[in-house]
Amino acid sequence: MASPAAAPNPRPRPTRDDVLDAREVATLLHLPLSTALEFARRGVIPGHKLGRRWIFLRDEIEAGVRRASPTKPASPSTSQRPASKAGKPTSDHQKRYPMAVPDRESGPQPRLFG
């Protein structure tokens, strides 16, 4: 009878080089540490929380970067928006950076990787 320990492991065990901490991910992605942690908390970048620490697998981060496509800038609208009496745009004005700051009512946060 074969023991369970003798079964071949389809996944190799991750080494120290395969596992990154939040500071290493922030450096790799050229982000502030707080932004990398916030993206991990929101699920924008793939990460795993172990206790109070976040860990990241290098393969998952690299695969996410490869899959991410550059966002196309929003085309300026051809229709003129009505201006308020003070000359400022009304509340339905187009955001300058629509993906950077999503609307609260727009639903779940879009994923950067995946």
Report the DSSP beta bridge partners of residue 53. Answer: 50
In a domain, 40, yes or no: yes
In a domain, 108, yes or no: no
* CATH number of the domain that residue 31 is part of: 1.10.10
In a domain, 33, yes or no: yes
pTM, entire model: 0.52
In a domain, 28, yes or no: yes
In a domain, 99, yes or no: no
In terms of residue numbers, what domain contains 48? 15-68
Nearest Cα to Cα of residue 82 among 90, 72, 70, 73: 90
Residue 68: its pLDDT value, please?
A: 75
CA distance 46 to 59: 10
Separation in Å, CA 88 to CA 17, 79, 84, 92, 98: 53, 16, 6, 11, 19
Per-residue pLDDT tens digits for 2-44: 555 666 778 788 787 889 999 999 999 999 999 999 999 998 8
- For the chain, the domain total comes to 1
